[in-house]
Amino acid sequence: MAAPIITAFLYSLSFPFFSLWPLGFAALIPFLCVLAKNPPVWKRAALGFVLGAGLVLGTAHWLFYALIHEFEKPWTTAVLFVCGFAVLPYGLLYSCFSVVFGYLKKRSLYFFCLVFPSLWVLTELLKQIVPIMIPWADLGYAALGGGYYVQVADLCGGVGISFLLAMVNGTAAYLAMDFSERNEQSLTLWLAKNKEAIAVLVLALGGPVLYGMARTAQIETFNKDRAVEAALVQASFSQKERWSGLGFINRVRTYVKLSSFENAASPFVAVWPETVLNSSAMVNDDFFREVIQSIGPDALLISGGLRKTPDGHGTFNSAFFISGRGRVSAYDKHILLPYSENTPMGKDVLGDYYTAPSQFVPGVSPLAMDTPMGKMGASICFEILYPGHVRRSVREGAQILVNLSNDSWFNSTMPYMHLDAARMRAIENRRWLLRASNSGFCALIAPDGSIQARSELGARQTVRGDYSLSDDITPYTRFGPWILYLAGLIVAAAVFRRKRS
């Protein structure tokens, strides 16, 4: 069982804190070499389960912090929750992956450079589909440290980056196994025998880099004629302060002060984090009139908050778009976080958190919001992990992306990895992205994924900068995750060949 543990360890090191991103191009090799030895089905399933469990514990260990320090659960409950609702489902997912891998496996370059990557990205897709899972720490995010390499996401999306990294891992594993078995064969003969595999490896590594170098020179990251000043406000109130039910007005005044509307340029956008306006009883027409007077006629305020459903029996997790000229609209969160914002198994496992609703109602509002500052694609917190959600907002006309979050539930590597997901969405759609989080990170992200300005974690501060609107449509935005369709065809063909053989 050492191989899946080593793979999970190397995989985790490729993400923050350590951010040893080159490991993402090699982390899967130990696991693949063991699977390729044709272990029995039960052992393949066990190896996959250990890998899935290791990936969860290595990249989502912050769940323990949230459960113990925020939800104030005893450590025994935290362990049981993580094992039952994270380790078990992800372990089973990768267990299934390993069994299918063994069923389809052929000792061929085609299998390791195409079939295996296809299986890998289809497995990652299931994390978006299964209600009790979230698509956390997909392989492609590791490449964000690679600069030019990840720019190809505007062609194939983050899923395409995962496919490429899996291709590199698979091809390298194929070469490593063949090299270990070459016996007395000379290196020259071995290189000649494997020239196709070496060519695939060089293309999978170098092709995206060359594309990225050429593409970044073409991207217009800033249009002065369509420039807008933005302030991303991070007040860093503790979770208990935010949900105690007390001090709502003082918290709002703090955000207004940090936004400095009186000193802002025209036009001006201020972005506040998720659930700042978290008292639905107080967020009414009188409240909005007071806010509108505070921000001025040429400003737009975007703030997270709670909103009652039309029948008054449910609550939306919303983003309010408040224009200084009197217009107020709301985006209601579509994709709810399992166990925290909904009950995917019909049982409220974690219970209430102070005055925070234990279950929200999923929204059906448009994904692109019309505002005086252009059309804005909205997402709240973990929705940024779902590329299709963000892509649809751009397809609906979004010229700028906005993500409101609250990562203070968590600790350790989580805010860094969440920020990386936002960077990937910016690259895929070539849009500026404004991100505001209660305790960090607030960030102004350019269309090439670079961070133009960023707050410090846990500080009370305002990040300011200029962004511009864009109407360009990338191939990924236009055609969607075509890599997944290709992967499905490749796997289907492999299954057909397996049945015929």
What is residue 264's predicted lDDT score, i.e. its pLDDT?
80
| Stated pTM of the model | 0.95
Q: What is the rounded CA–CA span in Å between residue 341 and residue 356?
A: 9
Q: Which tens digit of pLDDT belongs to each residue from 382-417? A: 999 999 999 999 999 999 999 999 998 787 799 999
Q: Which tens digit of pLDDT belongs to each residue from 227-245? A: 899 999 999 998 878 877 6
Beta-carbon contacts of 424 under 8 Å, excluding residues fewer than 6 positions away, are 140, 141, 144, 150, 153, 158, 161, 387, 449
Which of 191, 216, 249, 255 lies closest to 461, judged by CA?
255
Which of 360, 363, 442 lies closest to 404, judged by CA?
442
pLDDT higher than threshold 70 for residue 351: no
Question: Nearest-5° angle of CA 198, CA 14, CA 163?
Answer: 45
Looking at per-residue pLDDT, the higher value among 340 and 479 belongs to: 479
What is residue 81's predicted lDDT score, i.e. its pLDDT?
92
The enclosing H or E element of 482 equals helix 482-500
For the chain, the average pLDDT equals: 93
Q: What is the rounded CA–CA span in Å between residue 176 and residue 33?
A: 8
Within 13 A of 398's CA, how many CA atoms are on the CB side? 29
What is residue 355's predicted lDDT score, i.e. its pLDDT?
59
Q: How far is CA 453 from the centre of its chain?
A: 19
Q: Does residue 437 sit in helix, strand or coil?
A: strand
pLDDT higher than threshold 60 for residue 326: yes
Kindly indicate the confidence band of residue 266, based on its pLDDT and cuts at 50, 70 and 90: confident
Q: What is the rounded CA–CA span in Å between residue 234 and residue 270?
A: 11
Which of 256, 226, 271 lies closest to 455, judged by CA?
271
Report yes or no: 108 and 450 within 8 Å, Cβ to Cβ. Answer: no
pLDDT higher than threshold 70 for residue 346: no
Which of 403, 449, 442 lies closest to 426, judged by CA?
449
Please state which of the ranges 2-11, 184-193, 365-374 shows the lowest mean pLDDT.
184-193
pLDDT higher than threshold 70 for residue 468: yes
Note if the bond before 17 is cis, omega within 30 degrees: yes
Question: Nearest-5° angle of CA 37, CA 41, CA 42?
Answer: 115
| Domains of the chain (ranges, CATH numbers) | 2-218+481-500 (no CATH), 224-454 (3.60.110.10)
Helix axes of 195-218 and 153-180: crossing angle, nearest 10 degrees: 160
pLDDT higher than threshold 90 for residue 429: yes
Q: Which tens digit of pLDDT belongs to each residue from 158-213? A: 999 999 999 999 999 999 999 998 887 889 999 999 999 999 999 999 999 999 99
What is residue 245's predicted lDDT score, i.e. its pLDDT?
66
Please state which of the ranges 17-26, 109-118, 349-358, 361-370 shows the lowest mean pLDDT.
349-358
Question: Nearest-5° angle of CA 350, CA 356, CA 361?
Answer: 85
What is residue 83's predicted lDDT score, i.e. its pLDDT?
95
Look up tokens 């019309």; give the residue. 370
Look up tokens 């109602």; give the residue. 361
Kindly indicate the confidence band of residue 352, based on its pLDDT and cuts at 50, 70 and 90: low
